[in-house]
Amino acid sequence: MSERKRFYLTTAIDYPNSRPHIGTAFEKIGADVQARYRRMEGYDVFFLMGNDENTVKVARRATELGLATKAYCDEMAQQFQDVWRALDISYDYFIQTSDPRHHEGCRKFMQLVYDRGYIYAGTYRGWYCEGCESFKTETEIKEAGGVCPVHRTPPVERSEPCYYFALSRFQPALLDYYERHPDFIQPEPRRNEVISLVQSGLQDVNITRIGQDWGIRVPFDERFTIYVWFDALLNYITGIGYGWDEERFREWWPADIHFIGKDITRFHCALWPAMLLAAGLPLPRRVFAHGWVYIKNEQTGAVEKISKSLGNVVEPMEIITKFSSEAFRYYFMRECPFPGDGEFSWSRFAEVYNADLANNLGNLYSRVITLILRHFEGHLAGSRAWEPGEIYEEQDLEATVQQVQGYIENCEYQLALQRIWQYILDPANRYADRKEPWKLVKQDLEAAARVLFDLVESLRVTAILLKPFLPRTAERIYRSFNFSRDWQQVRCEDCYVYPRPVDDLRCLVRPGPDGKLAPLFPRIEIR
Ligand code: ME8
C-alpha cells in the first residue's frame, strides 16, 4: 500500500491582547479552505493554529484587568476558539505559547542553536520607551516626529546586555534557497520584496529581553527571557511535537504551507528559515502571505485600516449572527482576493449575499427541489445518462473542475469561486430559464424530468466544488439527493467521473409543516 500523502499547514498565531476581528478571521478561513480541500483530495492533514502569548502587551492587559497573566491567556484562548468554531475552522490543534511543552521545545531549540555557535552575547543600544517598556526602532521614532508613536513622549537612550542571533551569516544561504525554490514565498510581489530586503543585507537580531517576568527563560542564562518573535515562530515545530514527541515531529515537519499576513513576511521568510538552518532542520515548503481586509467607510467612502482607535472593528460574531457562518466564509473568499487586499462594508456584504447566495444558488436549489417534489412526488423514476453538455455550453466540465482545483492549490480562492459561478451556476440558471421546466411539467413530463435531472447534476457538481468553502451548504445540497458516492468520500474528480449512474433519482428533503422548503439562504433586506 502506498503511503498516504501528508499535508501540514499553519496560520499565524494571534496576539490575545484583543479579540479576533474580520481581518484575522480572513486568514483562518483561507487556511481552512486549503485544509478541507486537501482532506477531500485524500491527504492526511494536520492544521495548526494558536495564540501568541509571551508578549509584554498580553501581560500588561492582564494586569489592567486584575488577572493573572496565564488565567487571562487561557480565557482568551477560549474566546478565540469559540469564534473559530463558529466559523467552522477545522484546526487539529490550538497551541498556546504559554504551554510548558512549547517552553521546553523553545529552550531545547535555543540551546541547540547556541551550541552550534549561532548565538552570542553582546550589548543592545537603542531608543527605549518607558511607557511601552520596549525599544523602538529609529524609523518608528523618526516617523512619529522624534517621539514614541504610542505615548508621544521622547524615548530615552538605553543599553543593556543581550544575546544576538547571527542572522547576517545566513544571507547567502537564504538567497540561494529562494533561487532554488521559486515557490517558497508567495505571492510574487512578496517574494520580490523579501529578496531585495535580504540582498540589501541582514543585521544580527537581539533575541533576549532582560528583567521581564512573563516569557520563556533562556536555557543558558536564566536572567533573560526569549524575544517574543523568536519564541512565536517556534510554535510551528513545538505544535507538532518538537521537544516532546520527536517521532510525531519527524512525521509532520517540514510544513507544506505557513499562512500569514503580508505585514509579517520578513519574520517568516528571512528570520524563520535562518533559525531552522542554524538548527540544521529542513525549511518549510511554502509561505503564503495573504492580503489584508480593510473597512470601507459607508459615509465617507474612505478605505480604512481596521483599528480600535478608529472604532471601526467588526467582530466575526456580529456578521455570523446577522447572516450565517457560511455567508461570512463566502463573502471573504469571494469578495477579497486572498493574495491581495479586500474591503468590507455591510452594504456590500448584503449585496453579494443576496445576488450570489440567496438568488443564484439558493433559487436554483429551491426551484429544482420544489418542482421534483410537487410534480414527481420527489422521485424521477427510471434511469437516465447525465447529459450536462447542454448546460455547460461551450465549457468542458473536466477542464473547469481542474481549473478550480488549480486555483485552490494556488490559494486563489476568489478565482475558484468566480469559476464555479461563471461556468456551473450561471449556465445552469440560464438553462433553467431557457427550458422553463415549470411550464414543461404541464406539457411534457418526461421532457421536464430530463431538464430537472440535468439541473440536479449541476447542483451535485456545485456541492462537490463548494465543499472546502461552504461545508454546511455543500453537504446540505448533496444530501438532498440519493447520490451513490458517500459525501465523506467525495472528491473533485467525482464531478466528472461517476462511480455509477444514478437510477431513480430521489429527492430526500421534505417541505416544512407550512408546505414550504427551507431556503438555503433567506433573503436579507438591505437598509
Ligand atoms: O502578527 N486583514 O499577530 P496579530 C488580514 N502574533 N489579516 C490581518 C489583518 C487584516 N486587517 N490584521 C491582522 C501577529 N491580520 C503575531 C504573529 S506568527 C509566528 C506571530 C493577520 O494578532 C496578520 O497579518 O497581530 C497575522 O497574520 C495574523 O492576522 C495575526 O495578527
Alpha carbon 13 to chain centroid, angstroms: 12
Residue 2 pLDDT greater than 60, yes or no = no
Among 17, 24, 227, which residue has the most ligand 1 atoms within 8 Å of its CB, making it the best to mutate?
24
Please report which confidence band the pLDDT of residue 470 belongs to, taking 50, 70 and 90 as the band edges.
very high
| Mean local confidence (pLDDT), 143-157 | 90
Which ligand 1 atom is nearest residue 306's CA?
11
Q: Is 23 in the pocket of ligand 1 (CB under 6 A)?
A: yes
Alpha carbon 207 to chain centroid, angstroms: 29
Q: Is 287 in the pocket of ligand 1 (CB under 6 A)?
A: no
Q: Tell me the CA–centroid distance for residue 157 and ligand 1, in Å.
A: 30
| DSSP H helices in 259-324 | 265-266, 272-279, 316-322
Closest CA to 47 of 248, 245, 259: 259
Say what the pLDDT of residue 390 is: 80
Closest CA to 236 of 118, 105, 77, 44: 105
Among 28, 52, 257, which residue has the most ligand 1 atoms within 8 Å of its CB, making it the best to mutate?
52
Which ligand 1 atom is nearest residue 14's CA?
22
Q: Tell me the CA–centroid distance for residue 89 and ligand 1, in Å.
A: 16
The hierarchical CATH code for the domain 345-506 is 1.10.730.10
Which ligand 1 atom is nearest residue 232's CA?
19
Query: What is the residue with the minimal CA distance to atom 23 of ligand 1?
Result: 261
Q: Which three cell numbers stand for residue 3?
A: 503511503
| Mean local confidence (pLDDT), 175-188 | 98
| Mean local confidence (pLDDT), 56-65 | 93
The SS3 assignment for 319 reads helix
pLDDT in tens, 248-282: 999 999 999 999 999 999 999 999 999 999 999 99
Which ligand 1 atom is nearest residue 55's CA?
6
Say what the pLDDT of residue 220 is: 98
Query: What is the residue with the minimal CA distance to atom 19 of ligand 1?
Result: 233
Residue 387 pLDDT greater than 80, yes or no = no
User: What's the farthest any 2 CA atoms get from each other in the chain?
Assistant: 89
Residue 3 pLDDT greater than 70, yes or no = no
When computed from its CA atoms, the radius of gyration of the chain, rounded to whole angstroms, is 27
Q: Is 342 in the pocket of ligand 1 (CB under 6 A)?
A: no
Q: Is 231 in the pocket of ligand 1 (CB under 6 A)?
A: no
Q: Domain residues of the chain, as ranges?
A: 345-506
Report the DSSP beta bridge partners of residue 163.
Answer: 121
Query: What is the residue with the minimal CA distance to atom 4 of ligand 1?
Result: 14
| DSSP H helices in 379-505 | 389-392, 397-409, 413-420, 426-435, 437-443, 445-466, 471-478
Q: Tell me the CA–centroid distance for residue 267 and ligand 1, in Å.
A: 12
Outline where DSSP puts E strands in 256-378: 257-261, 287-290, 293-296, 303-304, 342-344
Query: What is the residue with the minimal CA distance to atom 3 of ligand 1?
Result: 14
Measured distance CA(113)–CA(122) in Å, rounded: 16
Q: Is 95 in the pocket of ligand 1 (CB under 6 A)?
A: no
Q: Is 344 in the pocket of ligand 1 (CB under 6 A)?
A: no
CB count in 10 Å sphere of residue 217: 16
Answer with the residue of higher pLDDT: 4 or 367. 367
Q: Tell me the CA–centroid distance for residue 260 and ligand 1, in Å.
A: 7
53: CB partners within 8 A, 6+ apart: 16, 73, 96, 97, 98
Q: Tell me the CA–centroid distance for residue 14 and ligand 1, in Å.
A: 6
Measured distance CA(161)–CA(36) in Å, rounded: 47
Which ligand 1 atom is nearest residue 235's CA?
19
Q: Is 24 in the pocket of ligand 1 (CB under 6 A)?
A: yes
Q: Tell me the CA–centroid distance for residue 289 and ligand 1, in Å.
A: 10
Report percent pLDDT > 70 for the chain.
Answer: 98
Say what the pLDDT of residue 500 is: 58
pLDDT in tens, 80-96: 999 999 999 999 999 99
Q: Is 52 in the pocket of ligand 1 (CB under 6 A)?
A: yes
Please report where in the chains the cell 488565567 appears, as a residue. 71
